[in-house]
Amino acid sequence: MFSTRSLVMFGALLGLACSSRSAVANYAAAQQAFAKRDYIRSASAYFQSYSYPKSRSEKVNAEWGLAESLKSVGLLYSASKFYSLMVRRGPKRSNPYFRKALEELGRINSTINLGQSHIVQLFKTKISPSNVPGVARGFYFYYLGVEAFSKRKFEQAQRYFNRVPSGSSYSIGAQFHLGVVANLSGKHSRAINHFERVISSVSRSSRWRELREAAVMNIARVHYETRRYRQAIRFYRQIPRDSDSWLDALWEASWAFFIMQNHNATLGNIHTIHSPFFLDRFYPESFILQAITFLRLCRYDEVKKSLRSFRFRYKGVFSDVKSMLSRYDGNYKGFFRLVYSYRVGDLNRYRNAWSILDKLSRTDNYKEAGDTIRFADRELSRLSKFRRYWRSSGLEGELGSFLSSKKSAAQIDAGRRLYNKGASYYSYLKELSDQTGLIQAEMLEGKLDVLRKKIKVNNPNNKKVQFIGGMEELSVAQRYEYWPFVQEYWEDELGYYVYNIGSRCGEKRRKR
């Protein structure tokens, strides 16, 4: 007679034996299915063998076979889960697929964006460059550079970016970052050379178009910073009107015109920025620049009108943004969804804060998270096609959980960054509001010299001044094409408007 305990133990041993035989059978079946290119069935069988391996080596081999099967059916995000596990274990003798997995992740990330936070986790364990295969060196050194750059370790970042091979798909991004590092180091000519390499390497219609336009913008900014204003304007004009950066280029060019004392061109650009076409775009400083431009022309009525326009435009923004930030303090996933709702046109709340939500929806943080969510959703929808093959093995549930957690992590991380950015915009608005009061007070007292000193951007003691141009006295002529208008807005003329008004500074001062 067997005791109850003995029967339970016997049953458990029998179950282990059966699961072991099943694992052996699954691994053999997985190999056979993979050899026949039946990747749907091989993925399921490899997952069973990976979950209930006969040995350590079988688990390692099954993990590789599973990742390769998922990649072969087009589930790249899902495959990245298992490739990443191999890479994070490092180049050990017990981890023979490390190098191949690193190569595959580099290829996958060139096709779909795995996300900076995902990739940083891969390289937390220090890896000797000698263990990085040639194909993956661009991927490896580029992201080490990006991580160092994000921590403001610019010399270290420069060393990493310089090690990205020229033939790598990551070389364009490395050149762009090298340009930024060079400019931060005061090496302006070298910075322009790096940005020009990006421009020459990328066509206007390629998937790197945004990076190409960013390189053009940065060349313009280098010229601006080194007081070559004509060259700056020439590059700002190269940004096409269908670009997301076009309005930024127009706005930044306004300051170049201002410093060159081409006030009519400055006012024309601002006229475009204030058009109904860009009602939900966030350029509050444009009203300040408009006011001080009129101030230079001694047109005090127009100065007061610009300041009133600023207060009218942003009066409701303060309350809505304050309410929004209070409502989503700590709820970063909810804040990301709020920005997303605005972007897709489903938001009916916080109408006065839409300009800030629009600004946030155009940031790299939002776009990267959006890519992650889009790719994850696409794979989640595809899992239903494999349900009848993968449900019994548990693979469908495993991948569904992974993809859902990846979406959630992307929303939380991006939401936190977007929330902090939104809070900084709120502080920025308050500073600008204070400056409108300064302009109004000084104008009323007629202390224009005092005003120039207070808002001059080159004052080293004032680190919070938002003005780019300041009020330096320069006299540089600038030719520009004139379009006649009487406060109307023609879409095909946006960006070409120029005022035609003169200065009243020589006239007898009127009471204000």
For 434-469, write each residue's pLDDT tens digit: 888 777 766 665 545 555 455 443 344 443 333 333
> What pLDDT was estimated at residue 511?
46
Look at residue 508 in the predicted model and tell me its pLDDT. 58
Please report the pLDDT score of residue 475 as a whole number. Answer: 25
Confidence (pLDDT) at 16:
41
Phi-psi region of 327 (alpha: psi -120 to 50; beta: other; left: phi over 0): alpha
In angstroms, rounded to a whole number, what is the distance separating the alpha carbons of residues 213 and 229?
Answer: 19
- The DSSP line for 389-441 is HHTTTTHHHHHHHHHHHHHHHHHHHHHHHHHHHHHHHHHHHHHHHHHHHHHHH
Which pLDDT score is estimated for 25? 61
Q: Who's near 404: CB < 8 A, 6+ residues apart?
A: 376, 380
Residues of the chain with pLDDT under 70: 1-25, 204-206, 441-499, 506-512
pLDDT at 299: 87
What is the chain's length?
512
Q: What integer pLDDT is reported at residue 127 of this predicted model?
A: 86
Count of CB atoms situated within 10 Å of the CB of 3? 8
Give the pLDDT score at 487. 47
User: Residue 93: its pLDDT value, please?
Assistant: 85
What pTM value is reported for the model? 0.80
